[in-house]
Structure formats: C-alpha cells, structure tokens
Amino acid sequence: MVKKLFWENPLQDTCTAKVTSITKNVNNENTTFVIQLDQTIFYAFSGGQASDQGTMNNLNVKTATKVGNDIHYELESEPDFKVGDSVEIKIDLARRKNLMRLHCAAHVVCFLFEDMTGLAPGDAIGSSVDPHKARLDYKYPQNISHVFEELTKKANEVFAKNHPIETFANKDDPNRREWECKSLNQACPCAGTHVSNTNQIGKIKLKRKNTGSGKERIEIMLA
C-alpha cells in the first residue's frame, strides 16, 4: 500500500519514491503503463477532489486512480525505469494550492449554509472540488439564492480570520482521515488536502445553479 505523504504535508511538491509495480496495458490503439509506488505526494481523485497533475521522472502522468487504499498512475510513454528503481515525482503546486483553498472553503460554506437553512449535517447530496471551483449539491425546495448575500458575507468573515484547521488519521482506521476546525466547532471525515488555517483561503464568491427539480447547487470560486 502506498504511503500518502500529501496527508502529512500537502505543500510538498516533489518526492522520491520506489516503484513497486509496472503493468503494461495494450488497448487497440494506445499502450499505457500503470505504475504503483511505495510512497507519493500525487493525489488521486477521491471524495470529489480532483487528481493532481504532474510527472514521474519527467514523464507526464495521464491519470491517477484510487484503487482500494492504493493509487495507480498511468503513463502514456514507456517508462525508463523498472520495479525497485527510485523515481522523482513532481506535482503542479499552484493547482494543488487552489484545490486546498477551495476544498476548505467548501467545508466552511457547507457548515454555514446548513446552519442558516436548518439542514442537517450530511444533507448535501453531492460535492466536488476542481482547481477553479467547488460545488455543493442539495435537495432544497426553493431557489437558494436568497441566502447567498449573507452566506458569502459570513464565509468571507471566517476567511478573514485566524481559524486553525487540523487533519489527522481516524483513530480506528489509519486509512481514513478527519478534518477539524476547533475554533469554529466544526469537524467531519475527509481525506482530501486542505489549508492549515482559514486565513489562507482568501475571499470567495458564490453562484447558484438549479440542477433539476428540487435540486440546488452552490458553486464556490476564489474571488
């Protein structure tokens, strides 16, 4: 199982890792190589958070896929290394930082929105984070834009202040992670990557979308 260094230090943008497996996949037209590592800084899509982008020994990583507690990295070029070799992993740190900021912003907007509307924690029916925006989906009987002015104001007040954020392993299962902001009295299970203080998020803006009958979406963007 790969050791996930992005949980300990989400700002680490390079690391050396040992190759534990290489599988050649031959499809009709393209051949790819799936690489597994002993440790990694390269996040794979999970919990709605997009994968990182980056390289392995300067070869572009096409996809990163979570498989159980492991991560499979797909290369389009034949690797210049073999099982047991050390490789250099690099990620796009600017992209990662946006993911961290928007991911944390989504946690705070989620809690504030649920508090303002009387929804219960966990009432969101979907969420995702990419480098440009985060989204939260709710079943909600009316247009939610009436709360947006106050929601945006409250969220930006939180992001203008110093609220430390902690992430740590679940005490019963080291493969699960917890997110907590003690000064806001907020916590939830989450294995994504986050900033360590709400004052690193910056200002946000919100946009409403109706995604179907009785379904409302909050889109969160960095202002």
Binding residues vs Zn ion (CB under 5 A): 103, 179, 190, 192
Find the shortest distance in angstroms from Cβ 70 to Zn ion.
21
Cα–Cα distance, 109 to 119 (Å, whole number): 13
Cα–Cα distance, 75 to 34 (Å, whole number): 6
Residue type, 214: G
State which residue, 7 or 81, has the beta carbon closest to Zn ion: 7
Find the shortest distance in angstroms from Cβ 49 to Zn ion.
7
State which residue, 90 or 103, has the beta carbon closest to Zn ion: 103
State which residue, 49 or 152, has the beta carbon closest to Zn ion: 49
3-state secondary structure of 200: helix
Contact 34, 78 (CB under 8 A): no
The helix or strand, by DSSP H or E, that contains position 102, with its residue range, turns out to be: helix 93-117
Find the shortest distance in angstroms from Cβ 48 to Zn ion.
9
State which residue, 136 or 144, has the beta carbon closest to Zn ion: 136
Residue nearest to Zn ion (CB): 190
State which residue, 56 or 190, has the beta carbon closest to Zn ion: 190
Find the shortest distance in angstroms from Cβ 8 to Zn ion.
16
Cα–Cα distance, 204 to 222 (Å, whole number): 4
Contact 105, 159 (CB under 8 A): yes
Contact 47, 175 (CB under 8 A): no
Find the shortest distance in angstroms from Cβ 110 to Zn ion.
10
Residue type, 52: D
Would you give the distance in Å from CA 111 to the centre of its chain? 17
Cα–Cα distance, 155 to 148 (Å, whole number): 10
Find the shortest distance in angstroms from Cβ 190 to Zn ion.
3
Beta-carbon-side half-sphere exposure of residue 124 (alpha carbons within 13 Å): 20
State which residue, 17 or 41, has the beta carbon closest to Zn ion: 41
Find the shortest distance in angstroms from Cβ 104 to Zn ion.
7
State which residue, 10 or 192, has the beta carbon closest to Zn ion: 192
Contact 189, 209 (CB under 8 A): no
